[in-house]
Amino acid sequence: MQMIGQLQKERKSFSISIRFSMTLLAIPTSFLIILLYQNYGVFPLTFFMKDIPMTALLLTLVSIILFSIGFQLLLTNKFSNCIGSCLCLVAGIILLIFSLNTYVYFDQEGIHHADLWDVEKTKVAWEEVDYALVTVENREAVKLTFYYEDEVFVHELNQYYSKDSLTNWFETVGLEYDEKIIRAE
């Protein structure tokens, strides 16, 4: 009797460690999934700048955690858990699809972006852009604002881009731009 109790205790601790490991593996797995998919499936071979919004990365993480919860519920063999696991798996798939198709990149043709909850992708050709505004803080470009038709597209820069590289890029695509300099106090 004691041996059966000990076996059940060991099985429960093993199950908890598996669940914990799956949750920990969800973090790097989610970033790898989105980076590989977007680098090879979305972004063109030549581009000036690309970015994966933080919301897409976090949503991918949530979807992977939902997958791990769904699979853990499937392993319990209870009907009520089976329904919950199916709901977790479906929600995870939906969130993963939306997060994988959220991106921004700039190339020779124009601005390409897909927002988180939008199904359609948006492309704005450089000819349609009236002008751009580069926000510079401490000699580093931190934000790009593009004005076209009656709309404004704002992109926060997550990587360092020198003022010269942005200037060369804007001249290459024939885009007029201004600078807004913010001085740190």
Q: Is pLDDT above 80 for 11?
A: no
Q: Which two tokens stand for residue 96?
A: 């993963």
β-bridge partners, 143: 135, 156
Map out the domains of the chain with their CATH numbers: 2-104 (no CATH), 121-182 (2.30.29.30)
Comparing CA positions, the residue from 43, 35, 176 lying closest to residue 106 is 43
3-state secondary structure of 102: coil
Q: For residue 127, give the DSSP letter.
A: G
* pLDDT range class, residue 102, cuts 50, 70, 90: confident
Pairing of strands 129-137, 177-182: parallel
Higher pLDDT, 40 or 114: 114
Q: Could you tell me if 144 and 155 are in contact, meaning their C-beta atoms sit under 8 angstroms apart?
A: yes
pLDDT in tens, 147-169: 999 899 998 887 777 777 888 88
Name the amino acid, one letter, at 102: T
The lowest-confidence range among 31-35, 102-106, 131-135 is 31-35
Q: Cα separation of 112 and 125, whole Å?
A: 9
- Is the pLDDT score of 16 beyond 80? no
